[in-house]
């Protein structure tokens, strides 16, 4: 029944039998058979067609809501312990972290702990957290606020900066329109609250002109002249954008939290504990929380 439940979870997340099959590394017919077997065992209809996709029945939604923490715990017991015994850590990492300081920090950890074998997967922050909840990742490095059901270890408050359109110096007007990360992301949910709280003394108001799914894309769009981009400082640096081209936000500034997320039982394991401590030390040593000073010369904001 465990593999049948896994198929239902995959179907709920992907919406189609074919995508669920890719997620599980099995054939589409195998997914269909597992769902059918689960329906027969439970005596309940679990899925129904919706155009080219399928949707869960109300019973299936209730089933997954109750089963999710149990299945996650079971995967952690069955697979997590065995993997750690072999020195293997499955890590979900935010795409923007992997595109900037993440690989360097992880390499420093491995230099200190060569007995660890890392399996790294790139995800959005919400998806990384879900991978931990589902027992498919042991830990996740993600942006955003704390989760109540998992243990959260703060790694850094990462400074945010403005990449000027075409990298041209400017002085903001009363309104500063920016390109930024999509509204449903964990990062923007946190940033929007902080902007509302901390920007009251700023000489300008930030408004969202447009959104993209990745900070790297935002940075490249800003550099090409599509508008000013609000991104983590580390992303701008990773793209080779010189600091004198960047516009730091006024005091108290703006940061996004980046944390290590995991089950308490997982983080308590000696090898995982050593990994988390080494990672925290590596991040501190990289001075990622240091912001930049404002440019000495600016010109009026160019119209967009």
Q: How far apart, in whole angstroms, are the C-alpha atoms of residue 209 and residue 115?
A: 47
Check residue 184 and give its pLDDT: 86
Check residue 298 and give its pLDDT: 47
| Position 19 in a domain | yes
| Position 182 in a domain | yes
Check residue 297 and give its pLDDT: 41
Report, as ranges of residue numbers, the positions in the chain whose pLDDT lies below 70: 1, 75-86, 145-146, 293-304
Structure tokens at 10: 């995959």
Percent of the chain whose pLDDT exceeds 70: 90
CATH of the domain at 24: 1.10.10.10
| Position 5 in a domain | yes
Pairing of strands 151-163, 247-248: antiparallel
Report the number of distinct structural domains present in the chain.
2
| Position 95 in a domain | no
How much is the pTM?
0.75
CATH of the domain at 199: 3.40.190.10
- Which range of residues forms the domain containing residue 195? 158-253
3-state SS string over the chain?
Answer: CHHHHHHHHHHHHHCCHHHHHHHHCCCHHHHHHHHHHHHHHHCCCCEEEECCEEEECHHHHHHHHHHHHHHHHHHHHHHHHHHHHCCEEEEEEEHHHHCCCHHHHHHHHHHHCCCCEEEEEEECHHHHHHHHHCCCCCEEEEECCCCCCCEEEEEEEEEEEEECHHHCCCECCCEEEEEEECCCCHHHHHHHHHHHHHHHHCCCEEEEEEEECCHHHHHHHHHHCCCEEEEEHHHHHHCCCCHHHCEECCCCCCEEEEEEEECHHHHCCHHHHHHHHHHHHHHHHCCCCCCCCCCCCCCECCCC
Q: Which pLDDT tens digit goes with each residue over 190-246?
A: 999 999 998 888 999 999 999 999 999 999 999 999 999 999 999 999 999 999 999
Is residue 262 within 8 Å of residue 134, measured between CB atoms?
no
| Position 184 in a domain | yes
The residue among 236, 253, 270 that closes a domain is 253
| Position 279 in a domain | no
| Position 304 in a domain | no
The residue among 68, 91, 114 that closes a domain is 68
| Position 268 in a domain | no
């Amino acid at each position: 029944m465990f593999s049948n439940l896994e198929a239902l979870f995959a179907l709920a997340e992907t919406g189609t039998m074919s995508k669920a099959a890719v997620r599980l590394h099995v054939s589409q017919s195998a997914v269909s058979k597992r769902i059918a077997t689960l329906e027969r065992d439970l005596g309940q209809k679990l899925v129904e067609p919706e155009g080219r996709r399928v949707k869960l029945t109300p019973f299936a939604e209730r089933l997954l809501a109750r089963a999710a923490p149990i299945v996650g715990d079971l995967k952690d017991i069955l697979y997590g312990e065995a993997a750690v015994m072999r020195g293997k850590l499955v890590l979900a990492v935010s795409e923007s972290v992997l595109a900037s300081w993440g690989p360097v920090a992880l390499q420093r950890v491995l230099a200190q702990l060569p007995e660890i074998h890392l399996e790294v997967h790139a995800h959005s922050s919400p998806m990384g957290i879900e991978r931990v909840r589902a027992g498919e990742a042991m830990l996740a490095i993600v942006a955003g606020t704390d989760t109540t059901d998992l243990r959260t270890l703060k790694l850094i408050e990462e400074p945010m900066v403005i990449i000027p359109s075409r990298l041209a110096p400017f002085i903001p007007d009363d309104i500063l329109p920016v390109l930024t990360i999509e509204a449903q992301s964990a990062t923007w949910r946190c940033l929007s609250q902080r902007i509302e709280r901390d920007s009251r003394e700023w000489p300008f108001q930030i408004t969202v002109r447009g959104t993209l799914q990745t900070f790297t894309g935002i940075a490249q769009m800003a550099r090409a002249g599509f508008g000013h981009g609000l991104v983590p400082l580390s992303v701008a640096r990773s793209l080779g954008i010189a600091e004198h081209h960047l516009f730091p936000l006024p005091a108290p500034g703006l940061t996004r939290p980046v944390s290590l997320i995991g089950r308490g039982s997982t983080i308590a394991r000696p090898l995982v504990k050593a990994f988390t401590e080494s990672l925290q030390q590596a991040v501190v040593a990289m001075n990622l929380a240091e912001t930049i000073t404002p440019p000495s010369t600016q010109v009026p904001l160019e119209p967009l």
